[in-house]
Amino acid sequence: MNRTNINIVRDTSRVITRFHIPSIDRIPRVIERVFRLSNAEAEAVLENTFLDFSDRHKDLKQILEQNFQKVSEFLSSDTRVSAAKKLLIGAYFTMEYAVESAALFNPSIVPHPDQTDVPAGGLRFIMSLRATGEGHLSSIVFRGGIIDNNTTISFLPTSEFVETPEVQVDSLYDRHLFRRKLHEMNVSEETTNYVFEQLSEEFTRKELNERIGFILSERKRTIHKEAIEHINWLADSNYKIKFHDDHLLSERVIFPVSENETSGIEDARFVQFFEDNGEISYYATYTAYNGENILPQLIETKDFITFNIVTLNGEAVQNKGMALFPRKINGRYAMLSRQDGENNYIMYSDHLHFWEDPQLIQEPTYPWEFVQIGNCGSPLEINEGWLVLTHGVGPMRQYYIGAILLDLKDPSKIIGRLKQPLLTPNDDEREGYVPNVVYSCGALIHNNELILPYAMSDITSGIATAGIDDIVALME
Largest distance between two CA atoms of the chain: 79
3-state DSSP of the chain: CEEEEEEECCCCCCEEEEECCCCCCHHHHHHHHHHHCCHHHHHHHHHHHHHHHHHHCCCHHHHHHHHHHHHHHHCCCCCCCCHHHHHHHHHHCEEEEECCCCEEEEEEEEECCCCCCCCCCCEEEEEEEEEECHHHCEEEEEEEEEECCCCCEEECCCCCCCECCEEECCCCEEHHHHHHHHHHCCCCHHHHHHHHCCCCCEECHHHHHHHHHHHHHHCCCCCCHHHHHHHHHHHHCCEEEECCCCCCHHHEEECCCCHHHCCCEEEEEEEEEECCCCCEEEEEEEEEECCCCEEEEEEEECCCCEEEEEECECCCCCCCCCEECCCCECCEEEEEECCCCCCEEEEEECCCCECCCCEEEECCCCHHHCCEEEECCCCEEECCEEEEEEEEECHHHCEEEEEEEECCCCCCCEEEECCCCCECCCCCCCCCCCCCCEECCCCEEECCEEEEEEEECCCEEEEEEEEHHHHHHCCC
Q: CB-based contacts of 474: which residues, under 8 Å, 6+ apart? A: 418, 420
Among 96-105, 272-281, 286-295, 341-350, name the one with the lowest average pLDDT: 286-295
Among 24-38, 50-64, 116-130, 225-239, name the one with the lowest average pLDDT: 225-239
Which of the four pLDDT bands, split at 50, 70 and 90, describes residue 245?
very high
Residue 253 pLDDT greater than 90, yes or no: yes
Which of the four pLDDT bands, split at 50, 70 and 90, describes residue 185?
confident
Give pLDDT, residue 274.
98
Average predicted confidence (pLDDT) for the chain:
94
Q: Which residues of 91-106 are buried (b: 16+ CB within 10 A; e: fewer)?
A: bbbbbebbbbbbbbbb
Give pLDDT, residue 296.
87
- Best CA proximity match to 382, nearest among 438, 446, 323, 439: 446
Residue 219 pLDDT greater than 80, yes or no: no
pLDDT above 90 coverage of the chain, percent: 85
Name which residue leads in pLDDT, 91 or 314.
91
pLDDT above 70 coverage of the chain, percent: 100
As a whole number, mean pLDDT of residues 57-61 equals 94
**Per residue in 334-376, pLDDT tens?**
999 999 989 999 999 999 999 999 999 999 999 999 999 999 9
- Best CA proximity match to 312, nearest among 304, 300, 328: 300
What residue segments make up the domains of the chain, in order of their start?
21-92, 99-166+238-473, 172-236
Give pLDDT, residue 35.
96
Residue 168 pLDDT greater than 90, yes or no: no
Residue 258 pLDDT greater than 80, yes or no: no
Give 196's Cβ-side CA count (13 Å radius): 24
Q: Which amino acid is at 196?
A: F
How far is residue 176's CA from residue 196's CA, in Å, rounded to a whole number?
10
Q: Would you state the CATH architecture of domain 99-166+238-473?
A: 5 Propeller (2.115)
Q: What's the predicted TM-score (pTM) here? A: 0.94
Which of the four pLDDT bands, split at 50, 70 and 90, describes residue 264?
confident
Give pLDDT, residue 2.
97
Residue 336 near residue 267, CB atoms below 8 Å = no
Q: How far is CA 436 from CA 396, 399, 427, 430, in A?
A: 8, 6, 9, 4
Among 188-197, 259-268, 271-280, 436-445, name the one with the lowest average pLDDT: 259-268
Residue 287 pLDDT greater than 90, yes or no: no
Q: How far is CA 401 from CA 288, 303, 359, 366, 391, in A?
A: 24, 30, 22, 12, 4
Residue 221 pLDDT greater than 90, yes or no: no
Q: Which residues of 39-64 are buried (b: 16+ CB within 10 A; e: fewer)?
A: eeebbebbeebeeebeebbeebeebb
Give pLDDT, residue 295.
78
Among 161-170, 192-201, 277-286, 297-306, name the one with the lowest average pLDDT: 161-170
As a whole number, mean pLDDT of residues 120-124 equals 97
Which of the four pLDDT bands, split at 50, 70 and 90, describes residue 71?
very high
Residues linked to residue 456 through DSSP beta bridges, in sequence order: 438, 460
Give pLDDT, residue 330.
97
